[in-house]
Amino acid sequence: MIVMKFGGTSVGGAEQIAQVAEIVTRFRQGNLRLSSAEDHTSRITDHVPVIVVSAMSGVTDLLISAARSAGQRDGETFRQAAGELRRRHRAVVETLVDSAGRQASLLWEIDALVGDFENLCQAIFVLGELTARGLDAVASFGERLSARLVAAALRERGVPAQAVEATNLIVTDDNYGAASPLMEATRERTRAVLLPLLDEGTTPVVTGYIGATAEGTTTTLGRGGSDYSAAILGSCLDSPEIWIWTDVDGVLTADPRVVPEARTLPEISYGEAAELSYFGARVLHPKTILPAVERGIPLRILNTFKPDHPGTRVVAEEQPNTCAVKGITSIKGLSLVTVEGRGMIGVPGIAARLFAAVAGEGISVLMISQSSSEQNICFVIRQETTAQALAALEAAFELERARRNVDRIWAQEDVAIIAVVGAGLKETPGVGARVFGALGTRGINVISIAQGSSKYNLSLVVGEEDADDAVRAIHQDLWLGEIQG
Ligand code: ADP
Ligand code: ASP
Ligand code: MG
């Protein structure tokens, strides 16, 4: 069996959903030839798919903005969103489902779900308050709608298929908006629900992105979390591989929207993929790697619109290429916070207190750098958490500020992290020089460099307006568009 996930663009409309149904049908018939060059699919002994789907592209954004506006006593936006949801999902049903009877029953289901969405938003509107728990409930509707469409499209082609709510499979903690699975309970439920369906030859179409607490309250795994859903289910079902179908040929040397000549990487390691996704390569949700690594399950990233392309395999083994760098990513919308003062020199525990203060606010730090003279410590956080972080630091260092041991606590907004990723980066001399050379010759100022970063990653901070140019410059000067392997 193979767990395979289709992303938002892959289920973005009737035509795309028909393409998904075509891929699944071909797979079931054993007619999908992904790797004519090398038979990596030899581990796959049967052709039993378990499908995981994202919401139609743009739908989760629409749901979230509807919920937010309802929480701000706007009674109009969520009604418009409901209209839009009905239109988009109805159009797919009308195109893909032939019989009037089957159409009617599916349209009824869609209307009922959209009606539930409206009622929930109405309640949020009346309360005038949106909780994290309420937001997850609203955000879950996109996948609940799309799973029904994909299952119906498969049935139209004669494939027995059934939409399955992941709230009955994935048991999570109650960290709404970024819930974590409780793997033991999830494994038990997933197998209890899905294995009987598979035994009778039915293809399950599971809602990505969502789960539920042990008490049954809906949660979400974080934006882009359907990849993670697929990895969780793949691990629970002992899938020999996990396939992520998306709208590009695989993991590329850079985001193709920024670097048009970016090249598909045939194979990368778990560590490299984790680093690329953590530092902004949206093609894979950062947590996806975790369940795969634990059970040694290879991932494959594939293009829904070029189903015969072999894509990228993500595996345990590391194969450094000739220039040691596999890819370049960037994350924008960040702030660089600096705590500086001569009185910090040689004082033990400053860094510990600093990061405890930031962590106490629930703010995660993406990158840290400290000057060797210890006169300052810099770290990078998401821009929207800047004011909160500064306030927490001012409070934590009140005494030092009064004594002038800490002179200044300040933030530079609108910065980006550029991450240069590859196994073997640390062992290959001269990579840093080439990276900084690429930026220097183009007049791009480097604001900060990460000290002691992971062995896969060299990260640096530039102004946000320079981020795309910086990625292009490094990509070009390191010949990433041309190097094989
Ligand atoms: P899906 O809806 O299928 O989950 P996403 O939009 O989440 O798709 O992720 C795919 C997108 O990720 C691509 O269209 C591409 O623009 C972007 N991306 C960013 N960095 C990379 C990269 N290094 N390789 C491939 N795609 C990337
Ligand atoms: N639909 C969700 C999102 O847009 C999850 C996903 O697409 O992976 O974030
Ligand atoms: Mg995605």
Spacing, Cα 282 to ligand 1 middle (Å): 5
Q: Which ligand is nearest to the CA of 141?
A: 2
CB neighbour list of residue 357: distance below 8 Å, 6 or more residues apart: 392, 393, 395, 396
Ligand 1, atom 10, lies closest to the CA of 283
Which ligand lies nearest to the CA atom of residue 230 in the structure?
A: 2
Q: Which atom of ligand 2 is nearest to the CA of 227?
A: 8
Q: What is the DSSP string of 212-272?
A: EETT--EEE--TTTHHHHHHHHHHHTT-S-EEEEESSSSSBSS-TTT-TT--B-SEEEHHH
Question: In the beta sheet, which residues pair with residue 213?
Answer: 172
Residue nearest to atom 6 of ligand 2 (CA): 224
- Separation of alpha carbons 265 and 194, rounded Å: 33
Ligand 2 environment, Cβ below 6 A: 7-8, 54-55, 60, 142, 208-209, 223-226
- What does the alpha-carbon distance between residue 267 and residue 283 come to, in Å, rounded to a whole number? 15
What residues are in contact with ligand 1 under a 6 Å CB criterion?
7-10, 54, 224, 246-248, 251-252, 254-257, 276, 281-283, 327
How far, in Å, from the CA of 266 to the mean position of ligand 2? 25
Q: Whose CA is nearest to atom 5 of ligand 2?
A: 224
Could you count the other beta carbons within 10 Å of the beta carbon of residue 381?
21
Which pLDDT does position 40 carry in this prediction? 55
Q: 114 CA to middle of ligand 3, Å?
A: 23
Write 213-218 long-range contacts (CB < 8 A, 24+). 213/171, 213/172, 213/173, 213/174, 213/179, 214/171, 214/182, 214/185, 216/167, 217/133, 217/137, 217/174, 218/136, 218/137, 218/140, 218/167
Question: Which residues is 212 bridged to in the sheet?
Answer: 171, 218
CA of 53 to the centre of ligand 3 (A): 10
Q: What is the pLDDT of residue 431?
A: 86
Q: Please, is 7 exposed, middle or buried when counting C-beta atoms within 10 Å of its C-beta (0-12, 13-18, 19+)?
A: buried
CATH code of domain 327-482:
3.30.2130.10
The answer to whether 60 touches 223, Cβ cutoff 8 Å, is: yes
- How many Å apart are CA 458 and CA 452, to the nearest integer? 9
CA of 352 to the centre of ligand 3 (A): 35
- Which residue's CA lies nearest to atom 4 of ligand 1? 7
| Distance (Å) from CA 192 to ligand 1 centroid | 33
Write down the pLDDT at residue 255. 97
- From first to last of the 485 residues of the chain, give the pLDDT tens digit: 999 999 999 999 999 999 999 999 999 998 887 754 455 555 677 899 999 999 999 999 999 999 999 999 999 999 999 999 999 999 999 999 999 999 999 999 999 999 999 999 999 999 999 999 999 999 999 999 999 999 999 999 999 999 999 999 999 999 999 999 999 999 999 999 999 999 999 999 999 999 999 999 999 999 999 999 999 999 999 999 999 999 999 999 999 999 999 999 999 999 999 999 999 999 999 999 999 999 999 999 999 999 999 999 999 998 776 668 899 999 999 999 999 988 887 777 888 999 999 999 999 999 998 776 668 899 999 999 999 999 999 999 999 999 888 999 999 999 999 999 988 787 888 888 899 999 999 999 999 887 556 778 899 999 999 999 999 999 999 877 776 54
Say if 3-247 and 327-482 have the same CATH topology: no
Closest atom of ligand 2 to 209 CA is: 5
pLDDT value at residue 41:
55
**Distance between Cα 308 and ligand 1 center (Å):** 19
The CATH-assigned architecture of domain 3-247 is 3-Layer(aba) Sandwich (3.40)
Burial environment of residue 336 by CB neighbours within 10 A (0 to 12, 13 to 18, 19 or more):
buried
Phi, psi at residue 322, to the nearest 5°?
-60, -30
* Ligand 2 pocket: which of 209, 220, 283, 288 to mutate (most atoms within 8 A of CB): 209
Domain ranges for the chain, please list them. 3-247, 327-482
